[in-house]
Structure 1
Amino acid sequence: MKRYLSGSNWLLRQCRMVTAALLLSTGGLMAQADIYVSVKGSDAAPGTLQRPVRTLHKAIAMAGAMKGKAVQVLLRAGVYYLDSTVYVTSDKAGFRSLKIQPYRQEQVTISGARPVQPAWTAYQPGIYKAKLPLAAAPDRLYLNGHAMPMARYPDYDSSARVFNGTAADAISEARVKGWKHPAGAYVHALHSGEWGGFHYRVTGKNSNNELTMEGGWQNNRPAPLHKKFLFVENVFEELDAPGEWYYNAEEQTLYLYSPKGIDLSSAKIAVGKLEELIVLKGTREQPLQRVTVAGLRFTGTNRTFMRTEEPLLRSDWTIFRGAAIFCEYTEQVTVTDCILHELGGNAIFFSNYNRRGLAKDNHIYNAGASGVLFVGAPDAVRSPAFRYELFVPWEQMDYTPGPKNDNYPDGCEAAGNLIHETGLVEKQSAGVQIEMAANITVTRNTIYNVPRAGINIGDGCWGGHMISYNDVFNTVLETGDHGAFNSWGRDRFWRPERNIIDSVVAARPDIRFLDAMKPTTIYNNRFYCAHGWDIDLDDGSGNYIIENNVCLSGGLKLREGYGRIVRNNIMINSSFHPHVWLANSGDVFTHNVVTLPYAPIAMDHWGQRIDSNFFMSEGGLQAAQALHLDAHSISGNPQFKDAAAGNYQFKPTSQVFKLGIRNIENSFGVTNALLKKQAQKAPVPALLIKGAPVAGETQTWLGATIKNIESLGERSAAGLPDQNGVLIVAITPGSVMEGSGLKKGDVIIRLGEEPVNNMTDLLQAYLQQRWMGQSVAVIMRNQAQQKLNLLLKSAD
């Protein structure tokens, strides 16, 4: 009887649990709601599958009225041209959660452009015009979904490195003289130091044919315009190339030079209308929560280069707080599996207070500005300063560690995104940008073909970031003095005068990490920079752990800062670049593999420890030991498993293991199967220095087959006094070296200021000088010395 009762109690408990589960399940179903949207619907409809509403605006309003429900807004296939930006705000968000996505994976596009149907008539050969009444001159013209260039000089050239074409005479007196009404034109130019770009709106011209302009606030370190890299657009007289267009606001007439192979009578034409498509916004008191945007395409936004007026502390950046998808004062907002392309400005922006924001598995390309941004508010920063040369006086400085309030992104993430061809207009941009934020994770992204950094951190506020497993390459393509990963650390204590910092930190050592409170970790990434460093920690960047990264081109630079630990990284065809370190920096550089000798600049202090590194050239090790560094380091061939395929793990017999160097996981970039298939592959540079060459070994260098002078016969044939030099065994027709005038049988004995005794010397000198584009070589030809101007460019 007792056992029976016990069993009955057990059965009763089970029944109660099942009943509760059913009630919860039923309640959950009752708390869910679906709202359907179709381009063929009506906003007077109830939003059912059979009777959908027509606009996203109406669906969001309906969702906001559904108190406590988990709402799905399901869009049917089609292109939704927005009349105005869609706002989802916390004050009108009665839902428990909101998900905006396509219905059953149908293809849905949200566009900020406005479709038009011009009635084209011939104007001049190749050029057509149409009357098109618009309230304002459009910023963008889309032809079959692709943005066309405004009438410009010089003409658009997809192969040109900077701005797709520049000219020193773009705004010269002679050219301006031919422009009847240039007001409304734009002048775009690089910073004179190539630190980003400047943009100006033309207001007119004076009697001397000089343009009058407004603008130039797009860089936080002002400078003159670059004298070579500039162009002008939106000038009627420059309408002279297929694809270019011009809108005459006074005549309300659109002019288009028809691209080849395009039938304008059937082409889809749209003009730009909006800068932002979806804004997700709460307040400090009431954040917007639990919103997901998934599986949608976003396109057709206007450019924002004249809106980037807000300086970001003392980094080189100014920004416009806006994007195709803009999130501010939000919690648990997710943007995932979206395609964002043909945008005039930023793609995804987490601004000010955000918690657990996530941008995941998105494809972002052809954007005028940055890909994903996490940028907090200046009011969260203690003792903020906003220009490189400005600072808060010591007696007025707040010495409390950390942020002043919580008005910044924290615990947010950019993961698995494919980001490329961004910064098409704004050159001070990045694939992922972090500033005035904490604990941001940037992982498994593939980022390439960008004008400046792939990943940029603008300050030390407030650290804790994890940068891991990213594949970042073809960066700094249009600018200079930067990195594939770049950071600044011009925090509240920082000054350009290092002696001042040394004295202040000696008196107050705790000041070093008032802002950079937690270490930022750069772990297991692959970086490749075209015109700078693969990893560039600039001006005061401190409290970093840099570990297990593969640097494919520019190596690693540490400018003055504190508490940087660099270990177990591989630097292909480059080296370590220590610049102007501070006293008692605490910096550590150990267990790394480097190709070239270190490249120090103004180094009076060498940190805590530089040792136990592996050099791929004996000369590199000797140079380091001459500086009283690397007492326990060694040199030789690292024995990579398959360097030609980009696998830089070591064979079991490698000597690197004696130093405690570990293999780096050969896994970088996106993991989403579709994005992985679409992503471009990182370049695999030829390994120019492999360790000590063996007798008779040849290598290929810029189209020349080279070898060491090893025999008396080779020495005699060249008329050499010794066996120093590099013999040219063969020249590939059409190669860089053939174009430089080098011939079979020549012997290179000097490159620039560097003597060339062997192949290692030559390749080492080349790797150090290639940024210049050319160098003077001393060669032996027909038993006489000659000088030859050699063109240098990356061998890969």
Structure 2
Amino acid sequence: MKTSKLISAVCFWLSSFGVYAQTEYFISVEGKDSNAGSVEAPFASLEKALEEARKASGEVTLFLREGTYRLQKTIVLTTADGNQSKTLNIRSYPGEKVVISGGQELDLDWKPYKKGIMQAPITDPVLMDMLLVNGEIRHMARYPNYDEQAIRFNGTSAEATAPSRVKQWKHPETGYLHAMHRSDWGDFHYRITGKDNKNQLTLEGGWQNNRQSGLHPDNRMVENIFEELDAPGEWFFDAEKKRLYYYPMPGENMEQAVVETPQLKHLFEIRGTASEPAANIHLEGLQLTQTVRTFMEAYEPLLRSDWTIYRGAAIFMEGTEHCSLSDCDLYNLGGNAVFFSKYNRDAEVSGSHFTNIGASAICFVGDPQCVRSPSFEYSQFVPFDQLDRKKGPKGNNYPADCLVKDNLIHKIGLFEKQITGIELSMCQSITVSHNSIYDTPRAGINVSEGTWGGHIIEYNDIFDTVKETGDHGSFNSWGRDRFWHPDYKTMEEMTANHPELILLDAVKTTTIRHNRFRCDRGWDIDLDDGSSNYHIYNNLCLNGGIKLREGFYRIVENNIMVNNSFHPHVWFLQSGDVFTRNIVMTDYKPIQVRQWGLMTDYNIFTDSTALLTAQKNGTDTHSLVCEVVFANPSTGDFTLSDDAETVVKGGFHNFPMDEFGVQSPRLKSIAHQPEMPAPIVSRSNSEAPIEVWQGVEIKNLTTLGERSATGMDSERGVYVLSVNPLESIHTQLKTNDVILKVNNQPTNTTQEFKEALKEHKAGDKITLTVFRSQKEVSLSVVLR
């Protein structure tokens, strides 16, 4: 006892002389900035607490007591706040809810306008970009009206920009046009500047997508047009009259409603430089909310990927070391949530919940000036004789050695569609572990290019992705690095003659392991356009299989592809790729593969026909066909018994099925799980014969597993097992489609399907009614 008291006294004595300095300040919505900042007499503002904290040394903790703190301007933290010898913690007081908001509450005097619409004057000089009523984001007056079930932008129409509609708008210059890319590769946004004498819109914008192929003719939406204010939940602010119009939701009492509008693009910025980093600054236990939309800000291309991006977010870090965001809630944000720009080392985002995010959740984006011989658009390239052929980056102005762990990310991309849960571009060795990511318009995790590899993607649960776009995956990457050329033949010759070019940018291997993926509108894992130097193993792919396009040095082993297979696209000679010890349940889906890598063998097929087809292509000499019985697929357990032929002879090794996604009890209790597929019985053992029509394998839909895989209501229709990707019809029919009608004539069996086609000849255009993604769609197909 005497010894412990002596130690305590010594510690107190040392601290009083600054050897061990630890300082605490308290902030309360009921405090005063004239107070001392103690727990008994707290400050009123975070700004005042920071002013005092900058005078202290050692470790400083700012405790915010329960309440909502509305920022008047962005909090900017620098080396004065945290550095190599000083730590700053900004956190909520234990057990208390602290909200940091960039929004302003409006004091409104509502009066009826007409047709159920209310109006109120706004005399304060506030920015009216987003509106929240009782904590819920409301939508600007728009066409078409908001539809929660609609696939893109919650409702799109070709009529959105039709001259007949534009003619009705007195002031189109208040509005915005949002449109999908012509091929659904992301989106575009425009400020409407007016209309011409033919009622065609004049526009400013379109810089938000790096593939300038034009707008989709149908998938368009306009907003902030007064004449379109005609549905509950819509609003319009007349800036000239300074008047807000709002159509209340059913049962909404506007006299009691809390109405807020965000005012800031960023809530916190932590800023330093690579030579003098801001360091050891930590945000913990905060609720961070209400920033404005940023889709019309300046964007920059992320090299030759499909992306351009706004370099900013609610939490923005540039030039930092050892900074973190932990156990926070980020919601109702107009743009990106967290952005690590240029130099960042040993940063961490953990234990946090991201939802209702306008753009991406977490971004790591380095400085393009660190890239050797960069190109910034798909069709651009640097000629071989002008290439910088040194390996790796120039300088260190990029994120590296950072951790994203145990975060729940969902309902993101509210306003922008070329977004992702976690974005990696021009960075190195980022670990992404135990995150749950779902309900996204594009990928859950996106790697924009090979610069500079070394990432570890592990134990994540990613599903319900690619909901509003196309040609993508739950995990997506591009690899349009220095060796890559938009002309395949040129690229093939260059890499054959100079293989040393291949890993000049992807200098470290990126590992994808122990994840669970499900993509219903693309691939589970999509390595696109030259993605190189990957090791992919122990992943559970629930629906979309694994795609490798172009690229070099990919090892894919010990993965399970439920009801799907391997998709090799446009492989190089001498690619060095390996595909082995994987469980595949349908035929491989090759496109322009002349040589199958270093090894495609020792895999486990559930279908003898699929294996025979593979062996005819010169692969899988030693692969097996065997019945695969999973432990309990309906609950997500795809473990095989230890004595299964797959394990004993095939060399497949089980991996844990209960470690995907978030782990903290707080997040685990609210995280969703993916829908589990029912494994389809082997086609070779199916009672219904398989037929081929114009490169499409079809059969009668007859089993419960097939119903589960397609979402059909009964065992009827013509089930599409696979589509030859080299057939022209491939652009229309897709695997797992069910053909229900030919020109409105029911086709419940393959026999009825053939009968319906008898009266047609090559060159005729027919309409197929197909069940896809839980609904009927019409396809126009020209017969061969």
Please confirm whether the aligned pair reaches a TM-score higher than 0.5, indicating the same fold. yes
1:219 counterpart = 2:198: no
**Residue of 656, 669, 679 corresponding to 1:687:** 679
**Residue of 304, 314, 318 corresponding to 1:314:** 304
**Residue of 51, 64, 85 corresponding to 1:75:** 64
Contact kept, 8 Å, 1:709 with 1:727, in 2: the verdict is no
Contact kept, 8 Å, 1:335 with 1:359, in 2: the verdict is yes
**Residue of 769, 772, 780 corresponding to 1:793:** 772
1:181-330 to 2 correspondences below 5 Å: 181-307=171-297, 309-330=299-320
Give CA deviations for 1:764-783 in whole Å, capped at 9, x if unaligned. Answer: xx995336987865836799
Q: Which residue is equivalent to 1:662? A: 653
Contact kept, 8 Å, 1:281 with 1:328, in 2: the verdict is yes
Cα separation, 1, equivalents of 2:468 and 2:740: 19
Q: Which residue is equivalent to 1:539? A: 529
Distance 1:686 1:738, change over 3 A: closer
Contact kept, 8 Å, 2:723 with 2:734, in 1: the verdict is no
Q: Which residue is equivalent to 1:459? A: 449
1:472 counterpart = 2:442: no
Amino acid at match of 1:662: H
Please, what TM-score do these two structures have when normalized by structure 1?
0.88
Contact kept, 8 Å, 2:536 with 2:557, in 1: the verdict is yes
Deviation at 1:69, TM superposition (A): 2.3
Distance 1:749 1:577, change over 3 A: closer
Contact kept, 8 Å, 1:778 with 1:785, in 2: the verdict is no
Contact kept, 8 Å, 1:573 with 1:767, in 2: the verdict is no
**Residue of 664, 670, 675 corresponding to 1:672:** 664
Deviation at 1:284, TM superposition (A): 2.6
Cα separation, 1, equivalents of 2:557 and 2:722: 32
Give CA deviations for 1:496-520 in whole Å, capped at 9, x if unaligned. Answer: 2222222222222211101100100
Q: Which residue is equivalent to 2:155? A: 165
Structure 1 alignment gaps of length 5 or more: 1-12, 695-706, 711-723, 755-765
Contact kept, 8 Å, 1:114 with 1:273, in 2: the verdict is yes
Which structure has the larger Rg? 1
Distance 1:579 1:308, change over 3 A: farther
Give CA deviations for 1:461-506 in whole Å, capped at 9, x if unaligned. Answer: 1111000000000000000000100000101221122222222222
Deviation at 1:457, TM superposition (A): 0.4
Q: Which residue is equivalent to 1:720? A: none
**Residue of 479, 483, 506 corresponding to 2:473:** 483
Amino acid at match of 2:201: L
Aligned residues: 742
Moved more, 205-214 or 250-259: 205-214
**Residue of 25, 42, 51 corresponding to 1:35:** 25
Cα separation, 1, equivalents of 2:381 and 2:489: 16
Q: Which residue is equivalent to 1:648? A: 638
- SS of aligned partner of 1:648: strand
Q: Which residue is equivalent to 2:762? A: none
Distance 1:133 1:639, change over 3 A: same
Contact kept, 8 Å, 1:109 with 1:299, in 2: the verdict is yes
Deviation at 1:708, TM superposition (A): 3.9
Q: Which residue is equivalent to 2:735? A: 769
Deviation at 1:664, TM superposition (A): 1.9
Moved more, 386-395 or 483-492: 386-395
Amino acid at match of 2:524: D
- SS of aligned partner of 1:57: helix
Distance 1:419 1:242, change over 3 A: same
Deviation at 1:280, TM superposition (A): 0.8
**Residue of 373, 378, 389 corresponding to 1:399:** 389
Contact kept, 8 Å, 2:688 with 2:702, in 1: the verdict is no
Structure 2 alignment gaps of length 5 or more: 691-697, 725-731, 758-766, 776-784
Amino acid at match of 1:685: P
Deviation at 1:171, TM superposition (A): 0.9
1:47-66 to 2 correspondences below 5 Å: 47-66=37-56
Give CA deviations for 1:525-567 in whole Å, capped at 9, x if unaligned. Answer: 0011121110000011000000000111111000000100000
Distance 1:27 1:229, change over 3 A: farther
Cα separation, 2, equivalents of 1:123 and 1:405: 60
Amino acid at match of 2:671: A
Deviation at 1:44, TM superposition (A): 2.2
Cα separation, 1, equivalents of 2:556 and 2:480: 20
Amino acid at match of 2:543: S
Amino acid at match of 1:460: G
Q: Which residue is equivalent to 2:79? A: 90
Q: Which residue is equivalent to 1:154? A: 144
Distance 1:137 1:182, change over 3 A: farther
Moved more, 457-466 or 501-510: 501-510
- SS of aligned partner of 1:104: coil
Deviation at 1:383, TM superposition (A): 1.1
Identity %: 44
Give CA deviations for 1:112-141 in whole Å, capped at 9, x if unaligned. Answer: 111111100000131000010243651011
Distance 1:441 1:605, change over 3 A: same
Cα separation, 2, equivalents of 1:729 and 1:301: 50
- SS of aligned partner of 1:61: helix
Give CA deviations for 1:727-770 in whole Å, capped at 9, x if unaligned. Answer: 859999xx97579xx86xx9x6988989xxxxxxxxxxx99533
**Residue of 359, 362, 386 corresponding to 1:369:** 359
Deviation at 1:689, TM superposition (A): 3.1
Amino acid at match of 2:73: S
Deviation at 1:409, TM superposition (A): 0.4
Distance 1:503 1:775, change over 3 A: farther
Please, what TM-score do these two structures have when normalized by structure 2?
0.90
Deviation at 1:24, TM superposition (A): 5.5
Q: Which residue is equivalent to 2:341? A: 351
Cα separation, 1, equivalents of 2:477 and 2:304: 12
Moved more, 247-256 or 156-165: 156-165
Give CA deviations for 1:569-610 in whole Å, capped at 9, x if unaligned. Answer: 010111100000112110000000011100001112211000
Cα separation, 1, equivalents of 2:628 and 2:487: 40
Contact kept, 8 Å, 2:146 with 2:155, in 1: the verdict is yes
Distance 1:639 1:114, change over 3 A: same
Amino acid at match of 2:736: R
Cα separation, 2, equivalents of 1:568 and 1:496: 32
1:449 counterpart = 2:415: no
Amino acid at match of 1:792: F
Q: Which residue is equivalent to 1:567? A: 557
Amino acid at match of 1:770: N
Moved more, 26-35 or 591-600: 26-35
Give CA deviations for 1:386-423 in whole Å, capped at 9, x if unaligned. Answer: 11111122222111101100000010011000000011
- SS of aligned partner of 2:165: helix
Cα separation, 2, equivalents of 1:649 and 1:612: 19
- SS of aligned partner of 1:439: strand
Cα separation, 1, equivalents of 2:341 and 2:616: 49
Distance 1:783 1:184, change over 3 A: closer
Cα separation, 2, equivalents of 1:322 and 1:753: 43
Distance 1:709 1:620, change over 3 A: closer
Deviation at 1:15, TM superposition (A): 13
Q: Which residue is equivalent to 2:778? A: none
Q: Which residue is equivalent to 1:598? A: 588
- SS of aligned partner of 1:478: coil
Cα separation, 1, equivalents of 2:265 and 2:542: 37
1:518-557 to 2 correspondences below 5 Å: 518-557=508-547
Contact kept, 8 Å, 1:91 with 1:282, in 2: the verdict is no
- SS of aligned partner of 1:148: strand
Contact kept, 8 Å, 1:327 with 1:350, in 2: the verdict is yes
Cα separation, 2, equivalents of 1:280 and 1:472: 30
